[in-house]
Amino acid sequence: MDTLVRLLPRDDRYRHAHGSYGHGADHLLPAFVAPSVTVPVSGGQPLLGTWQSIVLVDLNQDNPRRSVRLSFVEG
């Protein structure tokens, strides 16, 4: 998280027409952190490596409520 804060500081360098001061950086975040991910599942368990985990990152303070959509496709 510290790296993202350094790369996308909440100052006026990313001016934007709406949102709070520094909100323009939120529109650049998907270039560094994927907005979606595909995770294989087997036997009802995600197939993650030893050091892998699923995390949600949202630095946008303008929209305090979020929803997460999970879609499962048999394959």
Q: Which domain holds residue 11?
A: 1-75
Q: What is the pLDDT of residue 19?
A: 67
**Count of positions (residues) in the chain:** 75
DSSP state of 20: S
Please give the model's pTM, rounded to 2 decimal places.
0.53
Q: How much of the chain exceeds pLDDT 70, in percent?
A: 85
Instruction: Calculate ∠ Cα 7-63-11, nearest 5°.
Output: 35
Domain count, the chain: 1
